[in-house]
Structure 1
């Protein structure tokens, strides 16, 4: 992820600090011989990310992307780079990605809908993780930023670090080329949701568009295949990073997602033929 030059000092820092807290979850109940649908099911909707519907990649969005990259390096123990579409030479091409927004508020402690007896758990419930990251300007003192990461409990499997890591972790400083005044104007608290419900090749629609030298023939770590990171704000999820087995990690946080219900039937049918469904 490139650091974008800061052209102005428009204040984006909130006047109040939101308290990091665990959101309340709505329970859903099922029995052995019946299936009950989660009340969160009606939250699921399909969106698409369009190449032409975006905001400029700013210094502020670059700092956010590099914060995410910094945390992923720590969690995955890998120096994988988070690319922007601009770095992959996708900014002058037409492309679309279709995603399902996961429901939020699911409770991992509640019984899962199904016909079998519930599985015996050998680990404590997954917890939210808080990362404290000193962000260093080109000179002067660092500003501490906080990233709250929640697990998506509807994913096939919640990553082990949500069980094994301490609730709060202080990471190494993140170096930036920006002035102290600009860093102090930025948001200091972010909440993201980590979801691994995507397909390993969820960026396959971009394979023909991307600079071929960026495609990797050797598989990337399984931890990023199908990875989706969503920015959480007022219970609204916006996709910011997608992981793929060939492209790796791509930042799309400056692309505005569009409700797929407005897409033409012809386009939906064309995309449907590309879908890989699991029985």
Structure 2
């Protein structure tokens, strides 16, 4: 059933197996995903296809400079007929939430997502409300258009499990796109409750002490690096472990390997780093993570 879900997504968005697999890891490990890419690459299609194949409630928030926190959360409205306040919930109350062009809205509105993404709940007025089960935020931003945008603060970036970009399509894949191959996903739907079983199996994936120490070595090396002002947080360490378990499960293993850590470290850790000003002139966050991975001794797999 999981492989059919995976196949459906690959039919809906061609040539993006890497992004799809990481999105599914985010789904299994309850981590949110930031897609940074040009318009028209299939970001919205991917989010909708995931919701449709999962039989999940989908909502979309189109961010602009005048988007308010209440446009995301909802608000209390007075009903003159009953003489009382009634709660009107916003689009965050869904399973799959696409936050389109998240960097076009103000920091005030961006901060409304912090509680939702970190604790799966929101506070409206004096009351906290739990968000639907299997809550997943897929946010997008355009990396090339800086006019009228507000860079995401570090606290917001730290709540995204992955920051991903779509791969350029080769000619053969784009030709298949022109011929409509992406329009033929099979009529298949996974009950949302099935995620409970999958997530329980992911939690049962084990990790040996040597592999766990390797995970910590990667994070500690980044924190101690002279070019890093802010390194991975404890939230990032936990997220890397959970994502590694999900990747192992997707590869039909009951244990985490060093390869799981190596494959996930860059998309999971790079966007959480803050480099010194001098370092930003000579390298990218992703390149620094890769250097750390190349410098560390990988434990021998048992």
TM range (shorter): under 0.3
Which one has the bigger strand percentage? 1
Higher helix share: 2
